[in-house]
Structure 1
């Protein structure tokens, strides 16, 4: 077992070059748009007024799209840029100054109300999108639903990632610009930005950073929680935020290991551990299992924070510790240093983006990353469950050293 830091070439295994979190390629002698001026897939965005960016995935996926909006807006300030996302993920785009309107596909809510309500709800959404008269749609992950929507909304220019890009068995081809990815060790931030590169917009490394915005209510809630810590004896309000769970529990470390890690961190009283999780029953059961094994006291906020309150708390944290999950991407977006445990998923594709980091992953399992839901589909990942507590603890110490000379 080793600790892999994708941002540090010296710490990476010799068999694989490191993937820096914010790549800095040499400056080309000519601007990319000049080099590609004769290619037919470029779009003259000066002639485009309204853009719809589509990503019908999960919370973490939506966070990784945020550079797309800022790059488009910064390069072409005249554009009105809207988004279409799944219900429950829209909070990650709230207060984003680069987005005008966030359309929400309320898929689960409509399913619960029956077929007629689902048809009516999706038709109403389609009507809203048609009325907006978009000139350009960009589907960052492809798929039949976004392709169908772009076709029915009569959007003339449609950029789409590969997958589900034809309708009626291939008879209808709504996609005007098809983006192909390498599919190997390319971070999803870069894959999303490939949809812009394909049409002639080439972001600089500085433009590729994630962005999340807190509302006043969330900032106030976080400040109240930190002030409560100070009243309880934590003089400067510094803390480690530990989010050990994921919506996909096969990405989670055993609760006994998580509890043992908290006990080790508790030896440093100046840096308390704040424990968080979603209110999901499985995640709350995991937290209860941890508490039954821990000797140390923690500040337990599991199930008590909204997504945006969680973002505000992560922003205030000295360090974030967790697994491959949406909160890990939140930490990267707000610039909080991250220690992340990776098992079956790939740190090259999904690792913390553009922040100080230590990624802990097994090198004893040549099958990883397999992207399976546990070994053999059994919901338990050996490459993750066998990670030693001490390995994770040492990764935390290394990241804390420049932040806190006393260390835990």
Structure 2
């Protein structure tokens, strides 16, 4: 009887403790790609603490992106280039405000702020272990979850923005994002030309990417059945387009790939120097293609002495076959 009463008291204390979590601080990764990989963890956190107000710490790269997320009540900017005095002032401004802290950067911030309910500080080697980055972030927050209930997040778009894209009638299109800021990740233009020449006979193809990538897509934009939106979209536009119109996404390792995975769009992913085990698609329907003849991949390097052979060696016909194999 005494043991049973103690258990009831402990359960009541636990519940009362959890109720006190009404403000949560989340330190998001530095770039948009990694931030998208952290979104499934944000969904779990909001699912466990639906009434809590969430503040996000963002960089200049992610600030505008996070400001449009419905789950985030406040976004504050942090710059690692600030002088020490400014960093101290920033930490003091966060002191005694939050009952739970999630730190996707694996910094000392949760310890500095003295919050007991927090993600642990993990040695760098263990933090960057060889599991998918999305799962690494989920593992980081797992012990903080009351229950693994997913509350799917959304990004805010103006009605005018939605109507603009709706007017194009892009239903059941294949979206293509095979360029990248890193030249090592880019699928060669001549290979892409073969892929598009084949797929455009059967499907509507939508090209997406940054304005700096216009020249890359020049050779395929003149095929029939092509909509060229390169340089005309924001990440929020791409979010809406993929969510509403994508039959499939053909992509290299970019933030667009991660966004497509988050939206559970069928994906054919082309991987070269980076690891598909850590950064590959996680959609229910996805295929990863890479050059199996190259033993040096994934090298994770910023330069290549083998003429980008890991990407060049991905056969265009294999890409077309993979697209058709997904059952679209």
| TM-score normalised according to structure 2 size | 0.81
Aligned to 1:89, which of 62, 75, 79? 62
**How much has 1:220 moved relative to structure 2?**
2.3
Residue 58 of structure 1: aligned partner: 31
Aligned to 2:162, which of 202, 212, 219? 219
Aligned residue runs from structure 1 range 369-380, under 5 A = 369-376=298-305
Distance 1:89 1:66 in 2: 13
Paired residues, number: 311
* Residue 390 (1) aligns with residue 322 (2): no
* Residue 183 (1) aligns with residue 129 (2): yes
Distance 1:138 1:203 in 2: 16
Distance 1:351 1:370 in 2: 15
Q: Secondary structure at the match of 1:98?
A: coil
Distance 2:247 2:197 in 1: 18
Q: 1:397 to 1:354 in 2, by over 3 A?
A: closer
Aligned residue runs from structure 1 range 264-343, under 5 A = 264-268=198-202, 271-279=203-211, 281=212, 283-288=213-218, 290-291=219-220, 295-296=223-224, 298-315=226-243, 316-343=245-272
8 A Cα contact 1:86 1:105, kept in partner = yes
Distance 1:392 1:300 in 2: 20
Residue 15 of structure 1: aligned partner: none
8 A Cα contact 1:60 1:329, kept in partner = yes
Aligned to 1:201, which of 122, 133, 145? 145
**How much has 1:320 moved relative to structure 2?**
1.0
Q: 1:183 to 1:381 in 2, by over 3 A?
A: farther
* Residue 140 (1) aligns with residue 104 (2): yes
Q: 1:277 to 1:78 in 2, by over 3 A?
A: closer
| TM-score normalised according to structure 1 size | 0.67
Residue 162 of structure 1: aligned partner: 122
Distance 2:89 2:189 in 1: 42
Distance 1:324 1:120 in 2: 35
Distance 2:106 2:308 in 1: 29
Distance 2:74 2:92 in 1: 11
Distance 1:60 1:79 in 2: 26
**How much has 1:103 moved relative to structure 2?**
2.0
**How much has 1:138 moved relative to structure 2?**
2.0
Distance 2:35 2:223 in 1: 37
Unaligned runs of at least 5 residues, structure 1: 1-36, 38-43, 112-117, 165-178, 230-236, 404-408
Distance 1:121 1:308 in 2: 35
Q: 1:106 to 1:369 in 2, by over 3 A?
A: same
Distance 2:85 2:284 in 1: 40
More divergent stretch after superposition (242-251 vs 318-327): 242-251
Please give the per-residue CA displacement for 1:260-301, whole angstroms capped at 9, x wherever unaligned: 211111222xx211111112x3x233223x348x65462111
Aligned residue runs from structure 1 range 339-350, under 5 A = 339-350=268-279
**How much has 1:123 moved relative to structure 2?**
5.3
Q: Secondary structure at the match of 1:318?
A: strand
Please give the per-residue CA displacement for 1:215-260, whole angstroms capped at 9, x wherever unaligned: 234422321232xx6xxxxxxx332111111222311111111122
Q: 1:200 to 1:56 in 2, by over 3 A?
A: closer
Distance 2:152 2:255 in 1: 13
- C-alpha RMSD over aligned residues: 3.3
8 A Cα contact 1:135 1:155, kept in partner = no
* Residue 72 (1) aligns with residue 42 (2): no
